[in-house]
Amino acid sequence: MKKIKIKFSNELFKLKNFCIDEFKKLNKFIESKIIKFINKYFPNKLNKYKKFKNIKFINISNLSMSIILFIALLFIYLFYVSIPTLYNKGTLQKDITDKLIKEFRIDFSLSSNIRYFILPSPHFLIENVKIFDENLKDPKELCQIKKLKIYISQKNLYDRNNLKITKILIEDANFILQKKNTKFYNDYIKSRFSKKKLIIKNSNFFLNDNSNNIIALVPIKNINIFYDEKKLANQIIAKGKLFKIPFDVNWYKNFKNEINSVTLIKLKKLDLEIKNKSLIKDNKYIAKNSIFFRNTKLHSNFQIQNNIISFKSQDSKIVNSNLDYNGQIDIDPFYTKLEINLDKLNLIKFLISSFHFIKFLNVDFLFNKNLNARIDINSNNIHNKLFDFAKILISFDNGKINFNNSLLTSKKVGSLKLTESNIDLIDERLIFKGSFNFNVTNQNKFYTIFQIQKKNRKLLKNIFFDIHIDSSNDKLNINNFKINDKKSIANENTMNIINQYNSSKENRIQNWINLKNFTREIFNSYSG
């Protein structure tokens, strides 16, 4: 059997000598620190340690020497980063609390059950932590935290008093946002954040009213809070979900410019982007807001004072139509009023897209009992072959949604009024039910438009009908079709036509021609 000879290059010998020199320097440095640490905290153990301080290297191979050096360095490093396990837990709790208040201006209520971990980097883990506001007489609980991780610098680990926090991580927390807590959050945002990052992961933000009822829940995947020295600005970068829709938020407050805060919100799933620039002037919150949604551009001026948010549009457009709107939001009690005036409106597209948008959201928020709002949409030019004007009224009333008294008007024929309606959320399906009254002011024009034969034309004043829409299949059903008298009874042929339509798998009314044909078929069979 032949012997294998391995030749080592000069570079390897140089590396060995370098490692030995550096190891001796490191060993000497660490030894002095260890002696200092032992002398301070364990003086009775110092003599025992000194017996082992003169360690001599033996003649071994270069490769073995390198391995031994690596193991020795690793052992020394692990020993060094493990020093915090020797800290007194009682004093450590107080030290960490004080450092968190000083560095992050947050009063964490910490337990004495503090655990130390080396990986992924040295940090303390504290469970079941709470955050309180700055009211010393009657502190309010702001947050409950399951896991609080405090990452520390690896410098000066032997000296607990000089311990430096590099960042903190909050996991699995519940934040409570209420009117009575707004002062704490406002004060916190106004002042400069720490240069060290405050990270929040997998947590929930609860928006509650004064009675502690939940208005909205916002799950947050990740938040980074820190002071950016280059931009001279507080910065918050967040990812989460709003009404089940993922969003990205980038907020920063500049301490240099007049426009001191900018918020950018992106909802990629909806192709929606919101930008907000704001400042506080004369105790008023003043903001310019821009919303970009496909072919829609909404620019608004906001003002907040005394729990009232007022806003008005400026150079806004929806598709190619000019848009004007204004409104007001009362915070306590919560109520919203919005008036929208459209230069042009494609009625069919608007109704279909609105229904699909609500269906896409598919959220309980719209049916929240604490939500009260009124939206008026007006247009004097709608793209429709039958109607000219539209007035759509949307009401959110303690968990109920309706479009009652919405009106479509034709200068030639008459008006269609939605007398009674509601939208329900049943088993994650949106159900729309509505009762309509078509008041015909010009029956001849009506018959001409729908091409009703003269022999089938009768006295026509009102058309009553109900519709039912299920979001699970987008099917529109027609019920209770009556002419002139709500108590009248349609003949068998008319009922058969309606039943046949309702039982079909697909909607037969998909365009204007379908509507004309269906109407003509109904009138030809109706007994009157």
Q: Tens digit of pLDDT for each residue in 163-177?
A: 889 999 999 999 988
Q: What backbone phi and psi angles, to 5 degrees, belong to 350?
A: -65, -45
CB 434 within 8 A of CB 402: no
Neighbour count for residue 325 (Cβ, 10 Å): 19
**One-letter identity of residue 249:** V
Length of the chain in residues, anyone?
A: 528
State mean pLDDT over 455-461.
87
- Helices within 113-217 (DSSP H only): 182-190
For residue 146, the model assigns a pLDDT of 94
Interval 299-324 mean pLDDT: 86
322 Rama sector, left if φ>0, alpha if ψ -120 to 50, beta otherwise: beta
- Enter the tokens of residue 278: 């704001």
Does pLDDT of 6 surpass 50?
no
Domain ranges for the chain? 11-46+63-81, 86-270, 344-525
Angle, to 10 degrees, between the axis of helix 492-503 and the axis of helix 512-525?
A: 150
Predicted pLDDT of residue 500: 86
Measure Cα distances from 226 to 104, 188, 189, 201, 267 in Å: 9, 12, 11, 15, 23
pLDDT average, residue stretch 495-514: 79
Count of Cβ atoms closer than 10 Å to residue 342 Cβ: 22
Q: Is the pLDDT of residue 2 over 50?
A: no
Nearest to 204 by CA among 238, 235, 230: 238
CB atoms within 10 A of CB 142: 19
> From CA 174, how far away is CA 206, in angstroms rounded?
7
Q: How many CB atoms lie within 10 A of CB 247?
A: 21
Residue 298 parent element (H or E): strand 296-305
H or E stretch at 284: strand 284-293
Over the stretch 266-307, which tens digit does the pLDDT of each residue have? 998 888 899 998 887 777 888 899 999 887 888 999 898 888
Q: How many CB atoms lie within 10 A of CB 192?
A: 12
**pLDDT tens-place string over residues 117-158:** 988 888 999 999 999 887 777 788 889 999 999 999 888 787
Burial class of residue 446, CB neighbours in 10 A (0-12, 13-18, 19+): buried
Distance, in Å, from the CA atom of 152 to the CA atom of 288, rounded to the nearest integer, reads 41
What is residue 45's predicted lDDT score, i.e. its pLDDT?
54
Residue 194's nearest CA partner among 162, 237, 228, 151 is: 228
Terminal CA-CA length for the chain: 114
Side chain identity, residue 48:
K
pTM for the model stands at 0.61
CA–CA distance, 449 with 457 (Å, rounded to integer): 13
**Nearest alpha carbon to residue 436 among 389, 458, 468, 411:** 468
Please write the tens of the pLDDT for every residue from 32-70.
666 666 566 556 655 655 555 544 444 455 556 567 667
